[in-house]
Structures are given as structure tokens and as C-alpha cells.
Amino acid sequence: MKQFSIPARYRSPFIADIKKQRKEADKLKKDYSPTTLDLGTLQIKLARHFGFCYGVENAIEIAFETIAQNQGKRIYLLSEMIHNPIVNEDLLASGLQFLMDTKGNMLIPFEDLKADDIVIIPAFGTTLAIEEKLRAIGIQIEKYNTTCPFVEKVWNRAEQIAQKGYSIVVHGKPTHEETRATFSHSDVHAPTLVINDMEEAIILGEYMKGQRDYQDFDTHFKDRYSPHFNPEKDLEKIGVVNQTTMLATDTQAIADYLKQVITDKNGLEPDKVSAFFADTRDTLCYATNDNQTAVRALLEEEADLAIVIGGRNSSNSSHLVELCEEKLPTYFIQSEADILSATAIRGYNWRTHEEYVQENFLPQKDQVRILMTSGASCPDAIVEAVISKLTELVSGAKSLTES
């Protein structure tokens, strides 16, 4: 896989060495067991896969190269490059400005842009409408487009099945930048609908089975389907694609459920289902899948608590938290700064979007056992910093240089 040039401050020789050893010992990525860091009174189990993915490193490389090569020019980010506050703060400190917030609200009007300005498209991609606005101004977006190739893979797959007459169901968070972009790129080819979770998939299934009146469709899916979407007609043949940072198992469960609805509704034999339901399993992001599978293997280990490191608005990080919370007290933090002391940690509730401080988060015992992972937009240097902070706070723990 390509080696990217990213700022050294995001890298960690310590973590890089761990990843290198695991990769050399498991080239086919069949071993998802965690790496154990035995630090005396502190034991940390690191997930087999975590941290920067291909798309994130690619975006960071393009962004910093753009800054270095265009001194004196006005450089804008369409919205957050990735969902990590430290990386975004570094970019802003370099003189970049955001045009929009993560919800798509304008911070700087398009009317203020000039043809020789540079606008960087984030890793999530953007909508066709925004691309057209930028081109109309004369801005060249192709050279500074950091859209993740695995997001583009979803768009391409949606186009392929649309050409065969299937409508598209997008599993994603409706307001997320990537979902908005995927909807736009799909909608131009086929009737498209966004659903958030299995609960909404079940409601959709009830419409498809005739158990709900289509006149009420807008009650559940307002502003989340194509302008000329006809649910009675456009749900006869469908394919499911996803926002790449969603739980892969959730996307597959939704796809399996809707496939069964179509099978039962039409009384289809297994070999006839493909005429009504497109298989899109190949659109699931490898990094998202690896990180989530690694966390499931991590959770097989005995531990006192789990720590997930990532930006608060990082979708893929929040899903890792969701998995860990099923078994252990879990703390979602952004960096070592959230570990306030040996007794207090500042966490973030991804469901309520509220910050809190948990006292006595470390158990009083001979050896504290912690499971740890990080999101796809979290630099390895932050993971190392969190581990180092814990070694300083857990009495009797070895430092990383002693381990």
C-alpha cells in the first residue's frame, strides 16, 4: 500500500513498530487478537487495527502539500478535512479557512470566492451541486479533491446498479457530510432514499409490505429521498449502500432484512432474488470493517474499562465506542488532555453529545487492565500520548521506554 507523507507530529515510532511487527507476522490479516502492553501495574490491550486509514492519510498529505505549494494564495477547506480536532486546528493555524460547518451551513459565502482561490474537497467528498457552484466560479477542484477512494467506490457501485434499474437505499446518518455527498451522487442516477438505522429499515419494510399507507411516507423520511421518489414504484427493486463509517454489521443486517422483505413479498426462490435486490457487500470499507472486527476481538479480553480515542464528531469512532459500551465502562476521549488526573477523566457521550467528567475511573487494584483503540482519523502520536499519560498516573506502572 502507498506510503504517505504526513507531518511527523502525527506519527509515533512506538506505535509504528507495533503495527509493523503485527503486519509482518500476519500478512493476510487473519489474526485480530490485540497487542498486549505489559507495563507492570498497568496492562493495555491495543486493538489489532486502529488509527489513520488510507483515505485519511491521503487527505492529510494532499492538504499539507497544497499549503506548501501555494504560499500567498487563499486556501479554503470546504468543511472539516477529517473529523479530528487536532488535525483541523493545525490546518487552520496554517492559514486555511472553512467554507462550511459539518452540517453544510455556510461560514463564508461562495460569492466571496475568486477563480484563483483554492478549495480543498474533504475526505468525505461533496455534493454535485457544490461541485457545480465551484466550477462556475472557475475554481479547479479536481487537483485538490481528497475524497476517499472507498467513498468513491460506493458512488460507483450505486451508479452501476442504478443503470440496471435498481433504486438506492443509503444507510447513513442523514446530516453527515459523506451521506449528503453519497445521496447527491446516487440521486443523479436513480431514485434514492436515506435511512439511519434498523428501526427505520423496519418501518421502510412495512411500507414495502403494504402494512403502512404510502401517504404517510413523508412522516418518516421527509427530506431524505429524491424529489420525484415514488415509494410504491421505486421500492420494487433496490440495492443498499452505506456511509463508509457506519457499523458494517448494521449495514449488512439492514440489507439482509430488506432482501428478505422483497423475497417474501414476491414469493421468490433464492436464485431469483437478484432480479429485485442488488448485492452490494463489496462497498463496505475495508478499514471500517477491520477496525470494528478488531474491537470485537479486543472485547474477548478481560479488562476493567475501555478507552476509545477520536474526534467527538467522528462517526467511525463513535461506533467503536458503541461496541465497547456493550461490555465495559467506556470512555470516549479526544487526547491525553482528557485524562485529567489519576482519578478523573473527561468523556463524551456520543448519543447525547454531552461532555462529562467521571471520577474514580481507574479501579484500585494491583493491575489495571485497559482495552484501547482509536478512530480512523486519530493520529498514532495521540494514542502514544494517552498511553504515556496513563503510565504516569497509575502507581508503579512502567514507562514506555522501560517496557
For residue 157, which of 254, 55, 278 has the smallest C-alpha distance?
278
pLDDT reported for residue 40: 96
pLDDT beyond 80 at 3 = no
Going through 250-317 in order, the beta strands assigned E by DSSP cover: 277-278, 305-309
pLDDT reported for residue 4: 84
Contact 83, 122 (CB under 8 A): no
* 3 state SS of 301: coil
Give me 251's grid cell: 449495514
pLDDT reported for residue 402: 78
Residue the block writes with cell 487537483? 143
> Using CA atoms, how far apart are residues 386 and 382, in angstroms rounded to an integer?
6
> Using CA atoms, how far apart are residues 398 and 105, in angstroms rounded to an integer?
48
DSSP 177-225: HHHHHHHHHHHTTS-EEEE-SHHHHHHHHHHHTTSS-GGGHHHHHTTSB
Q: What domains, with CATH codes, occur in the chain?
A: 8-53+287-393 (3.40.1010.20), 54-144 (3.40.50.11270), 149-284 (3.40.1010.20)
Active-site residue, from 178, 200, 322, 384: 178
pLDDT reported for residue 159: 96
pLDDT beyond 90 at 285 = no
Q: Which residues contact 381 (CB under 8 A, 6 or more apart)?
A: 9, 10, 11, 12, 15
Confidence of residue 320 (pLDDT cuts 50, 70, 90): very high
What number is the average pLDDT over the span 298-318? Answer: 95
Average pLDDT, the chain: 94
pLDDT reported for residue 267: 92
Q: Is 178 a catalytic residue?
A: yes
Proportion of the chain above pLDDT 90, given as a percent = 85
pLDDT beyond 70 at 119 = yes
Alpha carbon 52 to its chain's center? 11
Confidence of residue 143 (pLDDT cuts 50, 70, 90): confident
pTM above 0.85, yes or no: yes
pLDDT beyond 80 at 1 = no
pLDDT digits (tens, 9 = 90+) for 50-89: 999 888 999 999 999 999 999 999 999 998 888 888 998 9
pLDDT reported for residue 82: 81
For residue 66, which of 89, 41, 91 has the smallest C-alpha distance?
91
pLDDT beyond 80 at 138 = yes
Confidence of residue 186 (pLDDT cuts 50, 70, 90): very high
Q: How are the residues of the chain apportioned to helix, strand and coil, as percentages rounded to the nearest 5?
A: 45, 15, 40
Contact 383, 309 (CB under 8 A): yes
Confidence of residue 163 (pLDDT cuts 50, 70, 90): very high
Long-range contact set of residues 324-329: C-beta below 8 Å, sequence gap at least 24: 324/295, 324/299, 324/371, 324/373, 326/299, 327/299, 328/299, 328/303, 328/304, 328/371, 329/304, 329/305, 329/361
